[in-house]
Amino acid sequence: MTTIEPEITEREAAQKLTEPLIFERSKAGRRGYQLPALDVPEQSDVLPQSLMRGEIAEEVEVSEVDVIRHFTRLSKLNFSIDQGLYPLGSCTMKHNPRINEEIARTWGFAQSHPFQAEHQVQGNLELLWTLEQTLKEIFGMPRVTLQPVAGAHGELTGILMVHKALAKSGNARKYILIPDSAHGTNPASAAFAGYQIKELKSNNRGTVDLAVLEAAVDEDVAALMITVPNTLGLFESDIRKMADILHAKGAYLYCDGANLNSYVGVARPGDMGIDVIHSNLHKTFSTPHGGGGPGAGPVGVSDKLAPFVPTPTVEKREDGTFYLDFNHPDSIGRMRAFHGNFNVLVRALTYMRSMGPTGLRRIAQLAVLNANYIRARLRKHYHLPYDGPSLHEVVFSDKLQAPKDVHTLDIAKRLMDYGFHPPTIYFPLIVSGALMIEPTESEPKEELDAFCDAMIAIARECEERPELVRSAPHTTPVRRLDEARAARQPVLRWRRSV
């Protein structure tokens, strides 16, 4: 067990971040390319004068080596999953296998165009069809749409299908029930679809209380949106009974499948009575994640909701060829141009195929094992607010450190000095000072041990040298950022300084 001393002074750390903006690197006349002399007559009347600009747009003037060095230096200031453990709870920052990239770059996939004729893109259609069949098997559900391009987009798609199904039966209803342990996107998606939100309070085990649910469900409730396992990493063991309570009143059960990686290949949402689920392919199925995307959030539905899936669907003819089927009169319509983020779908199917059913089940088992290993090693050092058996992530709090006036944010910042990305902090909201750790199955035991050693060393520092933790990070290119000012007065574009 080691302690990392803040030997690097603030000034030295600041000097490490010397990379200017690319605009500031610009030198008039510098070029990164050479064009041959113009050997055709210059045309000045190609566009009407009204469309011509009066001055040349100000673009960056840099050489190729300037560009390469600039972005390489920036990339070294960044932290990524390729560099080390990235235990961001609820985000499932797992390794992105390179075979996915290899297949996605296959010429036929990478160069095809969505307007090509069906007979020219049979391979692409077959891929979409096969991915739907695979997800149907994983979900245990009869229909899956691949259009949504993010988890929250999948949530909206799912709730719009619920809305359409209810509206068609005469009453679209008013409310969506959401537990207080939910992902923040759930209430946002439900509100976007036109519903009002009613929050369900978790019981003292951190799961949904059946009595509370039963009392809340009536003919005005459209659905319960629930995350399984929930944001505390706890499996909702009453899920089947919840489905029965909802179905008895004609309401639907929506499952946020962001945490599917904890039971993929082990249990199927369809068997739990779930009517609609989205899965983030960029979480459970290893497609790249972060930097804002692109993602994919396919949605699986039960028989009752199958008529409402977005169009077009990909179907297989008896002769083995594939086609786009627009003939779904009850469809909620398109949720995205073309077929979603197609190249993300290629990566996800590659992953499913390279893992196989046994491999996928093993992923869930290892993800749960790794989280529980961290839980067992750290439980003496950090407070566990909910002590039920947890799955793929574990939530601690800063309760043991708070008396020394060291808080979750400080612990997270200090972890950076030890070379780890901090976990998700201050979420879920039902835990004060939450530290939400999800290691994923990618990590070997040595990496988990190094992380736990760092966390234990920090717990000791909180006791012995709290100021060291409160003033962290000490070794990063920049120290504490002024998050409040960044949110209050964001500077979102470069301007020439005058």
Residues forming contacts to other proteins in the complex (CB under 8 A) are 402, 409, 426-427, 429, 432, 483-484, 487-488
CA–CA gap between residue 486 and residue 495 (Å, rounded): 17
Shortest gap between Cβ of 410 and other proteins (angstroms)? 12
Shortest gap between Cβ of 484 and other proteins (angstroms)? 3
> 188 vs 369, which CB is nearer to other proteins?
188
Shortest gap between Cβ of 10 and other proteins (angstroms)? 21
Cα angle, residue 348 at apex, residues 343 and 352 outer, rounded to 5°: 150
> 49 vs 489, which CB is nearer to other proteins?
489
> 227 vs 261, which CB is nearer to other proteins?
227
> 206 vs 340, which CB is nearer to other proteins?
206
Check the CA dihedral 424-426-428-432 and report its sign.
positive
Residue type, 472: A
Q: Name the one residue in this structure whose structure tokens are 């302690």.
A: 3
> 266 vs 486, which CB is nearer to other proteins?
486
Cross-strand partners of 198: 177
Strand, helix or coil for residue 350: helix
Cβ atoms of residues 158 and 217 within 8 Å:
no
Shortest gap between Cβ of 426 and other proteins (angstroms)? 4
Shortest gap between Cβ of 487 and other proteins (angstroms)? 4
Residues 6+ apart with CB under 8 A from 61: 26, 27, 28, 29, 30, 31
> 343 vs 408, which CB is nearer to other proteins?
408
Q: Name the one residue in this structure whose structure tokens are 């090693």.
A: 377
DSSP letter for each residue of 278-290: E--TTTTT-----
CA–CA gap between residue 131 and residue 479 (Å, rounded): 45
Check the CA dihedral 57-61-67-73 and report its sign.
negative
Shortest gap between Cβ of 276 and other proteins (angstroms)? 26
> 209 vs 453, which CB is nearer to other proteins?
209
Shortest gap between Cβ of 492 and other proteins (angstroms)? 15
The phi-psi region of residue 234 (left if phi > 0; otherwise alpha if psi is between -120 and 50; otherwise beta) is beta
Pairing type for strands 276-278 and 252-256 reads: parallel
Residues 6+ apart with CB under 8 A from 492: none
SS3 content of the chain, % helix, strand, coil (to 5): 40, 10, 50
CA–CA gap between residue 60 and residue 58 (Å, rounded): 7
Shortest gap between Cβ of 408 and other proteins (angstroms)? 9
> 342 vs 386, which CB is nearer to other proteins?
386
Shortest gap between Cβ of 490 and other proteins (angstroms)? 10
CA–CA gap between residue 224 and residue 239 (Å, rounded): 11
> 98 vs 488, which CB is nearer to other proteins?
488
Q: Which two tokens stand for residue 80?
A: 């990524």
CA–CA gap between residue 151 and residue 395 (Å, rounded): 22
> 323 vs 427, which CB is nearer to other proteins?
427
Shortest gap between Cβ of 485 and other proteins (angstroms)? 9
Shortest gap between Cβ of 403 and other proteins (angstroms)? 10
> 67 vs 197, which CB is nearer to other proteins?
197
Shortest gap between Cβ of 486 and other proteins (angstroms)? 9
CA–CA gap between residue 246 and residue 222 (Å, rounded): 9
Cβ atoms of residues 322 and 119 within 8 Å:
no
Shortest gap between Cβ of 209 and other proteins (angstroms)? 18
CA–CA gap between residue 356 and residue 93 (Å, rounded): 21
> 431 vs 448, which CB is nearer to other proteins?
431
> 58 vs 483, which CB is nearer to other proteins?
483
CA–CA gap between residue 4 and residue 266 (Å, rounded): 41
Cβ atoms of residues 341 and 347 within 8 Å:
no
CA–CA gap between residue 410 and residue 394 (Å, rounded): 19
Distances (CA, A) of 147 to 141, 188, 333, 345, 383: 17, 19, 11, 10, 41
